[in-house]
Amino acid sequence: MRVLAVWGAVVAVLVGGGTAVADGGPEADLAYHGAASMAGGWVDLRFTPRNHGPAEVPDATVRLRWSEPLVDRQVLPGGCARFSERVVLCRVGALAADGVGERVEMRVRVRGVPSEVLLEIDTVWNGGTVDRNGENDRQRVLVLDSGDEYYF
């Protein structure tokens, strides 16, 4: 059922035009903070969504875009679905004004054993709210195959 909710959010984005739907809508400010590490082609990722407000977000979906393709079979957490060979979408759900959402954790495998991978994180659906500060809901993290954690 959660996968259907993710796909429903994708359809809403495609039909509704993304995150900034109307100048007159309620304003929210989404952000994602966490850490990623990579060793032997396995990437461990954890992040927590946050809404700095002032309005609540009725539903949100985040896109995780990898610079390297993922292997075909992945075990993803509930609420997450594979969108393409390099993209995973995760429904983060409703976020109260000035609230913190549930932490998302996953382990994915990229094809081969690259020395680095670039992870881009951004909001693709924010429940019809307007986010005038789009900088903090977009992250670019270079993760080296060192086992070290890289924070964002």
- Percent residues over pLDDT 70 in the chain: 84
pTM of the model: 0.83
Residue type, 52: H
Average the pLDDT over 139-143 and give the result. Answer: 97
Average the pLDDT over 127-132 and give the result. Answer: 93
Largest Cα–Cα distance in the chain?
Answer: 48
- pLDDT of residue 4 exceeding 90, the answer is no
SS3 of 59-101: CCEEEEEECCCECCCCCCCCCEEEEECCEEEEECCCECCCEEC
Assign 136 a pLDDT band (cuts: 50, 70, 90): confident
For residue 23, the model assigns a pLDDT of: 58
Residue 104: closest CA among 85, 119, 86, 116: 119
Residue 65: closest CA among 144, 143, 126, 145: 143
pLDDT digits (tens, 9 = 90+) for 55-95: 999 999 999 999 999 999 999 999 999 999 999 999 999 99
CA-to-CA distance for 88 and 77, rounded, in angstroms? Answer: 11
Residue type, 119: L
For residue 137, the model assigns a pLDDT of: 87
